[in-house]
């Protein structure tokens, strides 16, 4: 059967688009991550996506939400490439114009991104140029075949089709290699140029040494959850890092990383959790943080009396609104430079981030920190506040059942998990099996009110299906509410319930 030259044109369009994107991504290794056409478009799409869709993406794909976004963009690129090939064959120009607009457009979007520089438009222009060259060459051959009315003689067209297919493979595999290995390696691990933590003691192990499957008292950094809007991890070095303190202050100033390191350092054990962490969910971690107290930084700026919030901004365009009183009430909000005795990893905000005990990450934990603006809640709104989330975000009391899982052998068993009510502390955890009475669990090591608490309860599991429910009481004596509320707008409530099949 004859292979229509239309399909050959489509394949060449697809190849042109993919090879073009590949060229743009390779260029961005040299011109900086914020100039990457895919990241720029991805970031732009994240910014304009309605909050409800974003919620759906996060709850469906979890931390793979960005991988999902890149797949969506790749499919869109493929579809538009195909279209460009078909249009180019028909008109001789429309496909090239389409690819040119897409490439240059992605470059322009890149220059509008928060961390852009003057070279940001370059990767998009390279992408456009390469795509147009490939398209013109391929479609030129297709048109020549059409004109020679050779299309039915099948063989030369099939060869041209296969060549286009090879172009698609080169573009696709090249992109997979560049995005999977080469660009992440270019981001790499930050250099270890920080002073050793002051008190280098680490947290002792907890109940996890005795209870299989229980969340460890201290989260290993490689297991610490990651949530942010950054499509590619911002790459900041200590040499060019600066923190600007401005807004309603009598003494605005800027400090360098060396100046930050010269300030008194503190170490605190703090649990960080995400407002989008569903009941029983994984977006919570606990470790020892090292940094400089925000209060010291703010006082030096001499805030005016009308200041209500500190709007912190990160290199990815994120911002958070932390109430000023929270930062000054002695709870040790800090500009953190280390987690668990090591410099922050790039994904967790290297070289410096904010950390505010007692508040969800979106209101107090800005990564890749660049600026603190002292202002009022009327004057400026934070990234997520503009998208329907609460202006202030105190962490709600929560309990998670880690063990048992959904299946269990009958007999002696242990129910165990973690509970947190950061900054208020946990005073009690209770467990109920089916409609039985609430039984008090044994609490693990007390690390501090800003830290989660492990807990366990021995259980003689009898055959059948059981429902295990857990609830915590915070340090103020307030029992966790059983009212079920979704994560939007200011964090979920309700009890974690685990259904267990006992055999
Ligand atoms: N720059 C920047 N900082 C950010 C975010 C972000 O999108 N960009 N997300 C916040 C949110 S919603 C959370 S829950 C925490 C997560 O911090 P982690 O990724 O280090 O666990 O970072 C906060 N800081
Ligand atoms: Mo979050």
What is the DSSP secondary-structure string of 236-286?
--TTT-EEEEEESBSS-EEEEHHHHHTS--EEEEEEEE-TT--TT-S-EEE
Cβ partners under 8 Å of residue 224, min gap 6: 285, 287, 339, 348
Q: What is the pLDDT of residues 49-64, one digit of tens each?
A: 887 787 777 767 766 7
Q: How many CB atoms lie within 10 A of CB 435?
A: 7
CB burial of residue 170 (10 Å; 0-12, 13-18, 19+) = middle
C-alpha 494/C-alpha 422 separation (Å) is 17
The answer to whether the CB of 229 is under 6 A from ligand 1 is: yes
C-alpha 313/C-alpha 267 separation (Å) is 23
Smallest CA-to-CA distance from 320 within 272, 281, 285, 287 is with 272
C-alpha 288/C-alpha 176 separation (Å) is 36
Query: How many Å lie between the centroid of ligand 1 and the Cα of residue 467?
Result: 34
% of the chain at pLDDT higher than 90: 70
C-alpha 23/C-alpha 194 separation (Å) is 36
The answer to whether the CB of 490 is under 6 A from ligand 1 is: no
Residue nearest to atom 12 of ligand 1 (CA): 362
Tell me the pTM: 0.79
Residue that wins the pLDDT comparison between 181 and 75:
75
Query: How many Å lie between the centroid of ligand 1 and the Cα of residue 419?
Result: 21
Residue nearest to atom 22 of ligand 1 (CA): 361
Q: What is the pLDDT of residues 266-305, one digit of tens each?
A: 999 999 999 999 999 999 999 999 999 999 999 999 999 9
What's residue 149's pLDDT?
60
Residue nearest to atom 18 of ligand 1 (CA): 226
Please list the residues that pair with 334 across neighbouring strands: 293, 355
Beta strand 407-408 with 496-502: parallel, antiparallel or unpaired?
A: parallel
Query: How many Å lie between the centroid of ligand 1 and the Cα of residue 368?
Result: 9
Closest atom, ligand 1, to C-alpha of 225: 21
Smallest CA-to-CA distance from 352 within 331, 364, 334 is with 334
What's residue 190's pLDDT?
63
Q: Dihedral, CA atoms, 54, 60, 61, 67, nearest 10 degrees?
A: -50
Among the bound ligands, name the one nearest to the CA of residue 487.
Answer: 2
Mean pLDDT, the chain, integer: 90
Angle CA 341–343–346, to nearest 5: 140
Where residue 1 falls among pLDDT bands split at 50, 70, 90?
A: very low
Among the bound ligands, name the one nearest to the CA of residue 225.
Answer: 1
Q: What is the pLDDT of residues 432-469, one digit of tens each?
A: 999 999 999 999 999 999 999 999 999 999 999 999 99
Residue that wins the pLDDT comparison between 30 and 353:
353
Smallest CA-to-CA distance from 367 within 314, 320, 309 is with 314
The answer to whether the CB of 228 is under 6 A from ligand 1 is: yes
Query: How many Å lie between the centroid of ligand 1 and the Cα of residue 77?
Result: 29
Asked whether the beta carbons of 101 and 131 are under 8 A apart, the reply is no
The answer to whether the CB of 430 is under 6 A from ligand 1 is: no
The answer to whether the CB of 366 is under 6 A from ligand 1 is: yes
Query: How many Å lie between the centroid of ligand 1 and the Cα of residue 402?
Result: 24
Closest atom, ligand 1, to C-alpha of 226: 19
Query: How many Å lie between the centroid of ligand 2 and the Cα of residue 274?
Result: 4
The answer to whether the CB of 81 is under 6 A from ligand 1 is: no
State the greatest distance between any 2 C-alpha atoms of the chain, in Å, as a whole number: 86
C-alpha 337/C-alpha 83 separation (Å) is 49
The answer to whether the CB of 453 is under 6 A from ligand 1 is: no
The answer to whether the CB of 383 is under 6 A from ligand 1 is: no
Q: How many CB atoms lie within 10 A of CB 90?
A: 14
Peptide bond into 404 cis (omega under 30): yes
């Amino acid at each position: 059967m004859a292979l229509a030259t239309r399909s050959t044109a489509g394949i060449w369009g697809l190849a042109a688009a993919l090879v073009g994107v590949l060229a743009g991504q390779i260029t961005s290794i040299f011109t900086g991550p914020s100039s990457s056409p895919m990241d720029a478009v991805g970031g732009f799409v994240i910014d304009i996506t309605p909050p409800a869709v974003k919620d759906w993406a996060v709850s469906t794909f979890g931390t793979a939400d960005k991988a999902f976004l890149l797949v969506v963009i790749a499919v869109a690129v493929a579809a538009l490439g195909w279209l460009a090939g078909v249009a180019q064959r028909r008109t001789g120009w429309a496909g090239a114009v389409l690819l040119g607009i897409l490439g240059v457009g992605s470059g322009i979007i890149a220059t509008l991104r928060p961390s852009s520089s003057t070279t940001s438009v370059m990767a998009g222009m390279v992408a456009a140029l390469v795509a147009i060259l490939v398209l013109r060459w391929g479609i030129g051959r297709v048109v020549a075949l059409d004109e020679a009315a050779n299309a039915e003689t099948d063989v030369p067209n099939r060869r041209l089709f296969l060549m286009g297919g090879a172009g698609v493979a080169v573009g696709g595999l090249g992109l997979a290699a560049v995005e999977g290995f080469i660009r992440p390696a270019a981001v790499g691990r930050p250099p270890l140029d920080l002073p050793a933590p002051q008190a280098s003691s680490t947290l002792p192990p907890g109940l996890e040494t005795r209870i299989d499957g229980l969340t460890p008292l201290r989260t290993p950094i490689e297991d610490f959850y990651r949530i942010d809007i950054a499509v590619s991890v911002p790459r900041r070095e200590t040499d060019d890092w600066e923190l600007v303190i401005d807004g309603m202050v009598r003494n605005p100033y800027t400090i360098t990383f060396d100046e930050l390191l010269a300030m008194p350092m503190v170490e605190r054990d703090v649990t960080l959790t995400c407002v989008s962490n569903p009941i029983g969910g994984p977006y919570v971690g606990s470790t020892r943080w090292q940094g400089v107290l925000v209060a010291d930084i703010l006082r030096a700026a001499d805030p005016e009396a009308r200041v209500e919030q500190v709007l912190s901004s990160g290199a990815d365009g994120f911002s958070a609104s932390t109430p000023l009183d929270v930062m000054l009430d002695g709870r040790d909000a800090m500009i953190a430079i280390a987690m668990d005795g090591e410099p922050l990893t790039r994904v967790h905000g290297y070289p410096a981030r904010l950390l505010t005990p007692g508040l969800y990450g979106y209101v107090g934990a800005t990564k890749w920190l660049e600026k603190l603006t002292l202002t009022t809640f009327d004057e400026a709104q934070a990234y997520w506040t503009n998208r329907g989330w609460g202006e202030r975000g105190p962490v709600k009391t929560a309990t998670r059942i880690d063990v048992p899982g959904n299946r269990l052998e009958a007999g002696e068993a242990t129910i165990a998990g973690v509970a947190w009510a950061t900054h208020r502390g946990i005073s009690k955890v209770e467990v109920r099996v089916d409609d039985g009475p609430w039984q008090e669990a044994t609490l693990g090591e007390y690390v501090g009110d800003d830290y989660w608490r492990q807990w366990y309860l021995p259980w003689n599991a009898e055959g059948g299906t059981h429902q295990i429910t857990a609830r915590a009481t915070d340090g103020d004596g307030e029992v966790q509410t059983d009212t079920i509320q979704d994560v939007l707008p200011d964090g979920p409530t309700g009890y974690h319930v685990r259904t267990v099949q006992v055999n």
